[in-house]
Structure formats: C-alpha cells, structure tokens
C-alpha cells in the first residue's frame, strides 16, 4: 500500500463506521489535504472500479448523493446506505442524508 493521498482516502473510506457517512471535504482533511475534496471524488470514482469500497458512505457537504456515474447510479448508493442503517430520503430525483444525524 503506497503512502499516497489516494491510499489514505481509500483507507479512511474503509474505516467509516456502518451507519455513518462522511463528506468529501472531511475525508480530504483527514487525508492531509483539506482542499482536495474533488480529488477524493476522483479517487473514489476510479478506485471503486477495482476495489470493493464503501464509496456509498461518502457524500457531498449538503448531504446529497452526487453520483452520476452509470456504473453506480445514485439510486444504488441510496439502497446500499439503507442497508447500512442510514435513512435516505428522495427529493426531486436526488437522494439526501441527514448529516446532523449520520455524519461520522
């Protein structure tokens, strides 16, 4: 496991407790670069294709699922979160999580 930013992001993502969620910015900060939220998204996007990663526990700052990828539709992420014990409410085609309650 290389000691890179990407590796940390993956490791941190794996450590998100069941029933909790984290934001991209939060993970970026824990990985050492508080302003690299976008990079976190890119990493998850790519790494999820080759690793089994709980990427569904990572959402944006508003608690909204911002997945647009065809391989991983937001609806699938919503279901996975539901299995994690996280309530996901659908609003206008998007899925939302109560950060106050579920933020790691």
- Long-range CB contacts (within 8 A, 24+) of 86-92: 86/19, 86/20, 86/21, 86/57
Site for DNA in 3-32 (CB under 7 A): 4-6, 23-26
DSSP strands (E only) in 1-104: 22-23, 58-59, 88-91, 94-97
Q: How far apart are the first and last CA of the chain?
A: 24
Residue number, 46 or 87, with CB nearest to DNA: 46
Indicate whether 91 belongs to the interface with DNA (CB under 7 A).
no
Indicate whether 67 belongs to the interface with DNA (CB under 7 A).
yes
Indicate whether 55 belongs to the interface with DNA (CB under 7 A).
yes
Indicate whether 60 belongs to the interface with DNA (CB under 7 A).
yes
Indicate whether 69 belongs to the interface with DNA (CB under 7 A).
yes
Q: Cβ of residue 84: shortest distance to DNA, in angstroms? A: 14
Rounded to whole angstroms, the Cα distance separating 68 from 33 reads 24
Binding site for DNA (CB under 7 A): 4-6, 23-26, 33, 35-46, 48, 55-56, 58, 60-62, 66-69, 72
């Amino acid at each position: 496991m290389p000691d890179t930013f990407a590796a940390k992001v993956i490791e941190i993502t794996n450590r998100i407790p069941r029933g909790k969620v984290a934001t991209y910015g939060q993970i970026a900060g824990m990985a050492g670069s508080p302003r690299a939220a976008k990079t976190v998204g890119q990493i998850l996007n790519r790494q999820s294709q080759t690793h089994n990663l709980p990427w569904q526990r990572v959402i944006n700052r508003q608690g909204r699922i911002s997945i647009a990828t065809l391989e991983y539709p937001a609806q699938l992420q919503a279901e996975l979160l539901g299995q994690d014990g996280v309530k996901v409410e659908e609003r206008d085609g998007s899925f939302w999580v109560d950060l106050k309650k579920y933020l790691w």
